[in-house]
Amino acid sequence: MTTTGPETSATDRDAEQAIELAYQLFDAARTGDAATLGRYLDAGVPATLTNGAGDSLLMLAAYHGHAGIVADLAGRGVDVNAVNDKDQTPLAGVAFKGYTAVAEVLVGAGADPDQGQPTARQTADMFKRQEMLDLFSRA
């Protein structure tokens, strides 16, 4: 049975709530709200959640310099080499931003500096991030 009119169905409300929750989780990854993000992940939200651009929670946390969240997500089995819709990896974003501590976490979790386009190695070279190039050569 289909209803018409201004009423919102329970399914529509559920979908709206799920979308709102996803936005909150992406914001938590961006702002470093590890407590909120951890609670929802512990409750069953997939750690592999991505937004419309293919940016994962890991990508957003890494790009904004939140090493603790990156470590937590990597510990939950998230693919640290997953690319977004532009073929960018979290490690390349970190190389661009210059977050060495986050790069150390990602490399320690198996991130490959030669994945994606441009690669993290190319990005570090372009922006003269010698500490990252040194880290990548040790990995």
Amino acid at 111: A
**Are 85 and 60 in contact, with CB atoms under 8 Å apart?**
no
Compute the distance between CA of residue 42 and CA of residue 7 in angstroms, rounded to an integer.
34
Please give the pLDDT value at position 100.
97
Please give the pLDDT value at position 60.
98
In CATH terms, 10-138 corresponds, of 3.30.300.130, 1.10.287.610, 3.40.228.10, 1.25.40.20, to 1.25.40.20
Q: What is the mean pLDDT of residues 21-27?
A: 95
Domain extents in the chain: 10-138
Write down the mean pLDDT value for the chain: 94
Q: What is the mean pLDDT of residues 29-48?
A: 97
Please give the pLDDT value at position 11.
87
Q: Report the greatest alpha carbon distance in the chain.
A: 64
Compute the distance between CA of residue 83 and CA of residue 4 in angstroms, rounded to an integer.
41
What percentage of the chain exceeds 70 in pLDDT?
94
